[in-house]
A and B are shown apart, each in its own frame.
Chain A
Amino acid sequence: MKANECMRVLAKHRGDAVVVCALGMAANEWWAVTKSEDSFYMHGAMGFAASFALGLALSIPDTPVWVLNSDGSLCMNTGCLLTEAGQQPRNLKHFVVDNQCYQTVETMPMVNQDGADYAVMARGAGIQQATTIDNLAELDRRMPEIVAAPGPYFIRLRIEAEPDYQRAPPATYEGPEMKYRFGRAMEKKLGIKVFGPRGF
């Protein structure tokens, strides 16, 4: 399956989930499909979208949180699986878009390309529910069960590398504007206070 098609299926099943996207392809494709402002599009800290999502999930335990991670980001911080397993967040689903290359830097090969099974690694770290899905029909069929199941749940999405891929452009806002748009979206969606009365 291709990244864009995969994101369309995920978006169809999203429901009320708040989404955190790893920087690069995962963030760009999710933005291209959803244009959603109750999603945080990481522009840095490669490897740590999962950590950001964990902190968010633990803070809003009644709201589903998804992290759309990428294989390159996971490889940069595989320890996030241990931390996630240690907390067992019931509202967190951890998707990894796995195309075995660094898509946004000229599809250079992933470390140990095709030699690692991230779902097995997640299970080994202590995330009992961990699976690999490699086609759209199965993804569409299994998403209701994945959405309904208590987390943590790790889903490796095996997608095609797209060497001739026209890069999806990133979200049209960034930096502090990303902070305030996402924070205000959280306040509106969840009825919480992210910012104080004077805006900080």
Chain B
Amino acid sequence: MDVNDKIHAQLVKAGVRLAASLPDDWVNGLINKVEQDNTIRHVRVGREAETICICAGAFFGGVRSVAIFGNTGLLTCTGEMATLCLRHAIPVFCIVSGRGSIDDHKVYQEVQGRRTIPLLQAYDYPYKIIDKEEEIEDIPNAYEWHRLQKRPFVLFLTKKLLGTNA
């Protein structure tokens, strides 16, 4: 069972039945796991903010959902997260690649690495960084907690956790 299998298994344990995603090479493995699971409706989108609003809609259908995308996309959809989810107190569970970390040397990820956390803190969006495999088991707890928080929640997956060379 690889790390994406373990994350997928914990999402299933949390009751997730819908996933909306936009690729990033760090989270593509997880997206593929979700795509292969017939119990999860997978929605491919063309812009990350769609994932936020699709998951918000699913909330009102009584369906637990997850938005999966890259850190760059997180920066692009903070407006929708604020004006829909904060405005109406709607929880949305996001899994995001923790790009721009000290072990990520892509020039196009540099700003994300420095500014994402301060941005989340400015909006008061809760987050958790998962760096070790044993922390993956925290996902169902995190899912329940984010519903209580009634706002977007971001679970970052690190390069160390994913073991990616990208």
Contacts and interface: CB of A to CB of B under 8 A. Distances in A.
Interface stretch (A41-49, A103-111, A113-121): A41-49
B46 A60 contact: no
A27 interface: no
Contacts of B80: 44-45, 48
A59 to B, nearest CB: 3
Interface in B42-56: 43-47, 49-50, 52-56
Interface string B44-73: 111101101111111111110100000000
Interface stretch (A3-11, A28-36, A75-83, A145-153): A75-83
A60 B61 CA distance: 6
A20 B56 CA distance: 12
B58 A59 contact: yes
A12 B41 CA distance: 33
Given A183-B60, A194-B59, A194-B60, A55 B54 contact: yes
A87 to B, nearest CB: 6
A200 B58 contact: no
A182 B90 CA distance: 12
Given A44-B80, A51-B54, A83 B87 contact: no
A127 interface: no
Contacts, number: 127
B49 to A, nearest CB: 6
Q: Is the interface of B mostly helix, strand, loop or mixed?
A: helix
B69 to A, nearest CB: 13
6 contacts: A44-B88, A51-B50, A52-B84, A80-B50, A175-B87, A179-B88
A72 B77 CA distance: 18
Contact of A55 (B46, B49, B53): B53
Query: Which 7 pairs from chain A and chain B are nearest by CB?
Result: A59-B61, A44-B83, A55-B57, A55-B54, A45-B84, A51-B53, A56-B57
Nearest to B89: A176
A57 B54 CA distance: 9
Interface in B65-111: 65, 79-80, 82-84, 87-91
Nearest to B57: A55
- Which among B41, B53, B91 has the greatest number of chain A C-beta atoms within 10 A? B53
A40 interface: yes
Given A40-B60, A44-B83, A55 B47 contact: no
A176 to B, nearest CB: 4
A86 interface: yes
Contact of A48 (B41, B49, B87, B89): B49
B27 interface: no
Given A77-B47, A79-B46, A52 B63 contact: no
A83 B45 contact: yes
Nearest to B51: A51
Nearest to A63: B61
Given A58-B54, A59-B62, A200-B150, 18 more contacts: A20-B57, A43-B88, A44-B80, A47-B49, A51-B50, A52-B57, A54-B43, A55-B57, A56-B61, A57-B57, A58-B63, A79-B46, A80-B50, A87-B43, A175-B87, A178-B88, A194-B62, A196-B147
B39 to A, nearest CB: 14
